[in-house]
Amino acid sequence: MNRKQVGILLFENVEVLDFCGPFEVFSVVRLDEEKRRDEPSPFNVFLVAETKKPVSTSGGMKVLPDYDLDDCPALNLLVVPGGWGTRTEMNNERLLKWIAERASQVEILSSVCTGALLLGKAGLLRGKRATTHWRSLDWMQELFPDAVVEKQLHFVEEGALFTSAGISAGIDMSLRVVSRYFGETVARATAKHMEYPFPESGERRIAVNQPA
């Protein structure tokens, strides 16, 4: 099996579900549900960070990257998560340059939550439709006026660019990526295995302009 190589980026104070959600989706995909225990996922998923030192998430979890920016293998899909750490990484020129370089090489580029701000800082949202966490929508539009910020969408598919709303929305976006690669039947079976509703609609699930 020629497995798709999925790199999920990590950085200090990354949001846990932003990267764990997509990791779970891509790792539990099976092309044949009857052979779930016998065959691997068609995706090979790994974690990438600036160094191989343990990364502390926003909740304090320590995560060990598989690769650093220098030894990361070729990717088919790059996932850029968000979290409080994006505020710092938006000024990390080395990381932004790496994201931009990889974006030109992958089949699909994706972001979860405020990971979209890193894509914007890397110059990857010009003229593109995209979304982010509801709390950061206005900030995203202010930072990147040449991007089309979709405030009412849970996830956005813009050609080879996938972006999602906050945190748990990365699961939905990842299921849509599975559907893009291997069809809706496989994606729906993956969602069922996870006991998670398949994203029928791209509409945002919370009211952006109403109090929490």
Task: Render pLDDT for 66-89 as a digit per residue (tens, 0 to 9).
Answer: 999 999 999 999 999 999 999 999
pTM over 0.85: yes
Residue of 113, 116, 119, 161 with catalytic role? 113
- Residue 202, pLDDT score: 84
Could you read off the pLDDT of 25-56 as tens digits, one per residue? 999 999 999 999 999 999 999 999 999 999 99
For the chain, list residues with pLDDT below 50: none
- Residue 211, pLDDT score: 53
CA dist 89 → 70, 97, 121, 158, 163 (Å): 17, 11, 9, 24, 18
Q: Which two tokens stand for residue 198?
A: 């398949």
- Residue 173, pLDDT score: 98
Task: Quote the CA–CA distance of 212 and 206 in Å, as a whole number.
Answer: 9
- Residue 210, pLDDT score: 58
Q: Which two tokens stand for residue 64?
A: 């060990």
Instruction: State the CATH class of domain 4-193.
Output: alpha beta
* Burial bucket for residue 142 (CB in 10 Å: 0-12, 13-18, 19+): exposed
* Burial bucket for residue 210 (CB in 10 Å: 0-12, 13-18, 19+): exposed
Q: Which two tokens stand for residue 37?
A: 């225990």
Domain residue limits, the chain? 4-193
- Residue 201, pLDDT score: 83
Q: Which two tokens stand for residue 163?
A: 């972006």
* Burial bucket for residue 198 (CB in 10 Å: 0-12, 13-18, 19+): middle
**113 is a catalytic site residue:** yes
